[in-house]
Amino acid sequence: MQARCVCGAVTADLPGPSSQIFACHCLDCQRRTGSPFGVGAYYPAGMVTCSGQVTEFVRPTDAGGEFRTSFCSRCGTSVYWKTTGKPDMIGIAVGAIGDPAYPAPAASLWERSKHPWMSIETASENLPRGWGTYPSCAG
């Protein structure tokens, strides 16, 4: 299984579907994706092989850490990210996987900034902020 940018220059080889998939409605994910939410699948970093020329954007998190988004230097697609809050994990943009059969999010995070018309029906948890025991978009 592979995630990739639009032009194919940046890829992330994945071991298969993740069991940690989250929809995030934080304003930074909304702006990162250009959508009302982002969906990320988290993997142990050692299980993912990333390749290609990326540019990295670093922003602070609410927890005082850093959130590092890696995007293709050529087409601008956001493919993966890392956060100091979960240093052993890597987040992969589910849209970059490009598989409609990929599992749905198990939790919906940062719902305090969720668009009121948006609903994640598959979420077993709906939280106003990030979830401390899981790798959230807020780090």
Contact 139, 40 (CB under 8 A): no
The CATH classification number of 2-126 equals: 2.170.150.70
Cα–Cα nearest to 21, from 73, 77, 99: 99
Name the pTM for this structure: 0.87
**CA 33 and chain centroid, separation:** 10
The structure tokens 């993997």 sit at: 43
Contact 123, 108 (CB under 8 A): yes
pLDDT per residue, tens digit, the chain (139 aa), is 999 999 999 999 999 999 999 999 988 888 999 999 999 999 999 999 999 999 999 998 877 889 999 999 999 999 999 998 889 999 999 999 999 999 999 888 888 888 989 888 877 677 667 655 444 444 4
Cα(24)–Cα(1) distance, rounded to whole angstroms? Answer: 23
Cα(133)–Cα(105) distance, rounded to whole angstroms? Answer: 16
What letter would DSSP give residue 34?
T
